[in-house]
Structure 1
Amino acid sequence: MVRLMLKIKAELENVTDLEPATEDFEYFFQVKCTQCNEIHPKLISINRQEEYEVSGGKGGTANFVWKCGICKREANAKFEPAFQTKPYSSENGQLQPFLTLDCRNLEFVGFDPTKGTWKCVGVESGTVFDDVELTEGEWIDYDEKAALPVGVSEVKCEWSRA
């Protein structure tokens, strides 16, 4: 089993603590079979709430179970329970740990942040913006309390072994 960590960074304008808006957030990942190195042609979705049985008769579960279309090997991934998703704050502008998954027979090689709803907090006012859509690659709004423009753009990610 391999532990993979997703790190993210983004340009945040007058906001902080960027994170998924709900516990049942659907993450969209690009997945690769480690047996035959085939990359699945479509993004797959995974969330923390759904669990599926893993074949093998030991009663194990995973948040994602997949059979490679090329080599037919079963693979699975599970969010690491000890590592909760951490809100992103751009204090140093560096990639920051965001989430960790335990993976068997697969690796995640991409992440699409433009799908799903995010939330963040106004730096000056503490206003919670809980309907942040990055479908256009960025989100722009206005913080009425602070009288400042707010925004999220240039979201980047990187996978590494944890």
Structure 2
Amino acid sequence: MLALALTADLTGVTELIPLDTSEEPFFYNFKVQCTSCREVHPNWVSVSRYESNEVSGSKGEANFVWRCKSCKRESTATIKNPPRAYSQSSPPQRRNIIEFDCRGLEFTQFKPDGEWIAKGLESSTKFTGIDLQEGEWFDYDEKAGDEVSIKDMKWEIIRA
């Protein structure tokens, strides 16, 4: 089991989570490495919990199926649960966002493409369309009358 973990400094917002519904699925973008030959795929790969792919020679399915070009082994990754929201804390704490059951592969790097949502810490204002690709995000909470931000993000892929 692998988990995507986040540590971030949230100011004025909490409950940061990817927008991930069946109508608007979130695609988790990773660099992937074969655990057999250690070959790293040169491109980013996308995994969605709403996609299901057949596993060769099996009746099973996985969210992501990949065949290594070097050793020709087929590997899979399955998202175990819906994503968990990252809550504001001081000091910032590392928390798992989502967990994967990986067979024959490891995710080595994460790219936070896609839309994220959060809510105001004091006001419960809903913030949508949050883009974390630049490594930080700033906005203004009208209800609270204060600036809100997400910064100092650190993404880790850890053994769960």
Task: Normalising by structure 1, report the TM-score.
Answer: 0.91
Determine whether 1:41 maps to 2:42.
Answer: yes
Unaligned runs of 5+ in 1: none
Map 1:80-91; keep pairs closer than 5 Å: 80=80, 83-91=81-89
Displacement after TM superposition at 1:69 (Å): 1.4
Map 1:126-137; keep pairs closer than 5 Å: 126-137=124-135
Unaligned runs of 5+ in 2: none
Query: Take 1:104 and 1:145, find their aligned partners in 2: how far apart are those partners?
Result: 47
Amino acid at match of 1:76: T
Displacement after TM superposition at 1:12 (Å): 0.8
Displacement after TM superposition at 1:126 (Å): 0.2
Query: Take 1:43 and 1:98, find their aligned partners in 2: how far apart are those partners?
Result: 19
Aligned counterpart in structure 2 of residue 9 of structure 1, from 3, 7, 20: 7
Displacement after TM superposition at 1:50 (Å): 0.5
Aligned counterpart in structure 1 of residue 147 of structure 2, from 146, 149, 156: 149
Matched length: 156
Q: Deviations over 1:81-133 (max 9, x none)?
A: xx3311001314121111111111101111111x1010001011100101101
C-alpha contact (below 8 Å) 1:95/1:157 kept by paired residues: no
Q: Deviations over 1:22-59 (max 9, x none)?
A: 32101101110001001111111111101000001x31
C-alpha contact (below 8 Å) 1:14/1:149 kept by paired residues: yes
Query: Take 1:71 and 1:154, find their aligned partners in 2: how far apart are those partners?
Result: 38
Displacement after TM superposition at 1:9 (Å): 1.2
Q: Which residue of 1 aligns with 2:52?
A: 51
Amino acid at match of 2:88: S
Query: Take 1:5 and 1:135, find their aligned partners in 2: how far apart are those partners?
Result: 20
Amino acid at match of 1:44: V
Query: Take 1:26 and 1:85, find their aligned partners in 2: how far apart are those partners?
Result: 12
User: Aligned to 1:129, what secondary structure does the other structure show?
Assistant: strand
C-alpha contact (below 8 Å) 2:15/2:87 kept by paired residues: yes
Displacement after TM superposition at 1:13 (Å): 1.3
How large is the RMSD of aligned CA atoms in angstroms? Answer: 1.2
Task: Normalising by structure 2, report the TM-score.
Answer: 0.93
Amino acid at match of 1:41: P
Amino acid at match of 2:142: E
Query: Take 1:135 and 1:160, find their aligned partners in 2: how far apart are those partners?
Result: 21
Map 1:11-160; keep pairs closer than 5 Å: 11-23=9-21, 24-56=25-57, 58-80=58-80, 83-91=81-89, 92-113=91-112, 115-160=113-158
Higher deviation after alignment, 115-124 or 132-141: 132-141
Give structure 1 regions of 4+ aligned residues with deviation exceeding 2 angstroms. none
